[in-house]
């Protein structure tokens, strides 16, 4: 069987490691190249637990990437770094799929915004795909079933593990500073606040925090409604909306972030209504490195190559 060749640019980060493992176990994809300036020449197996291949990191010049023959290239770079590489592929005229994990193209209507549970019907073979943010994924999935009955902005209180701050040293991934702490940041205007407001077409107010755990995030969403609802009616809405979505688990109890680490789905639950039935609070959790990044990237790659969307995703880890 012909395998599609996938390259990863900037794979030193946490998400890059997760995606390497997923692609290495995929029946229809093979790793074409994995780049990292810091690890150039070193074997992936020395840095990626569970990886058993013989591939090594490389550090090619960005303008040579289109010549490497990959069918798809995943850009796992910090915000603001993808544009130059995209220009190289555009200039070369190659037909490679480009999948950007940063926020650089999430507001570009020329790119497919790949949150499949909400946007797969708009995928029409686009070769440029923008992977949603981790927080933005959780917020959109928790809000979408009530989108038509919202009254005013939705407030979302978020807490993530420090892996979401990446590998470059900062206060938000300093284990000592985070010890016994909850660190607020970007309390207005966070890029995921703008991302969700843009793609849902409804204002969202987002207040993110970092906690001492490594992976997993939780969103508590406060939704004001135009009409009164009972709890069973709300639960039925979510169950209907996600009945055929294996990576969205709707449950009655509020999900715990400690139970989502290492899993590939979103958990939504804890449906609580005010006495008048016009204010709803819902909780969502996901692993920011998986469904918030690498797992969702794999869903998008599967769609791009006409494969079953969940191919290569370990459904037993649910």
Active site residues: 134
Please say whether the beta carbons of 281 and 270 come within 8 A.
Answer: yes
Residue 1 CB partners (closer than 8 Å, separation 6+): 27, 28
Could you tell me if residue 233 is left (phi over 0), alpha (psi between -120 and 50 degrees) or otherwise beta?
alpha
Instruction: Of 163, 161, 276, give the one whose Cα is nearest residue 217.
Output: 161
Instruction: Of 145, 244, 251, 132, give the one whose Cα is nearest residue 194.
Output: 132
Q: Please report the sign of the dihedral spanned by the C-alpha atoms of residue 234, residue 239, residue 245, residue 250.
A: positive
Please say whether the beta carbons of 145 and 235 come within 8 A.
Answer: no
How many alpha carbons lie under 13 Å from residue 82 in its C-beta half-sphere?
21
* Tokens encoding 44: 């992936």
Tell the residue number behind the tokens 């407030």, with chain if given: 155
């Amino acid at each position: 069987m012909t395998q599609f060749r996938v390259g990863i640019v900037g794979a030193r980060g946490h998400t890059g490691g997760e995606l390497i493992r997923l692609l290495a176990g995929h029946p229809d994809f093979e790793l074409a190249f994995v780049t990292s300036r810091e690890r150039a020449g070193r074997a992936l197996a020395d840095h990626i637990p569970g990886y058993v291949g013989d591939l090594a990191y490389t550090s090619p010049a960005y303008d040579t990437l289109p010549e490497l023959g990959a069918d798809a290239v995943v850009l796992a770079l910090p915000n603001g770094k993808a544009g130059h590489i995209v220009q190289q592929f555009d200039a070369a005229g190659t037909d490679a799929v480009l999948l950007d994990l940063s926020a650089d193209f999430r507001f570009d209507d020329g790119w497919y915004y790949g949150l499949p549970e909400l946007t797969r019907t708009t995928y029409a073979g686009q070769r440029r795909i923008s992977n949603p943010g981790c927080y933005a994924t959780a917020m959109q999935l928790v809000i979408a079933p009530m989108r038509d009955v919202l009254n005013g902005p939705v407030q979302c209180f978020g807490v993530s593990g420090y892996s979401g701050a990446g590998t470059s040293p900062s206060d938000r991934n300093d284990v000592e500073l985070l010890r016994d702490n909850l660190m607020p940041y970007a309390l207005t205007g966070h890029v995921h606040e703008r991302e969700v407001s843009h793609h849902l077409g409804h204002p969202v107010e987002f207040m993110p925090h970092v906690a001492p755990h490594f992976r997993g995030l939780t969103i508590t969403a406060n939704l004001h409604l135009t009409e009164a609802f009972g709890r069973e009616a709300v639960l039925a809405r979510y169950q209907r909306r996600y009945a055929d979505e294996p990576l969205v688990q709707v449950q009655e109890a509020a999900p715990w972030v400690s139970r989502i680490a290492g899993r590939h789905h979103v958990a939504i639950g804890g449906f609580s209504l005010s006495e008048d039935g016009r204010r709803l609070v819902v909780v969502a959790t996901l692993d920011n490195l998986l469904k918030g990044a690498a797992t969702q990237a794999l869903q998008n790659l599967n769609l791009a190559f006409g494969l079953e969307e969940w191919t290569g995703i370990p459904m037993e880890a649910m």
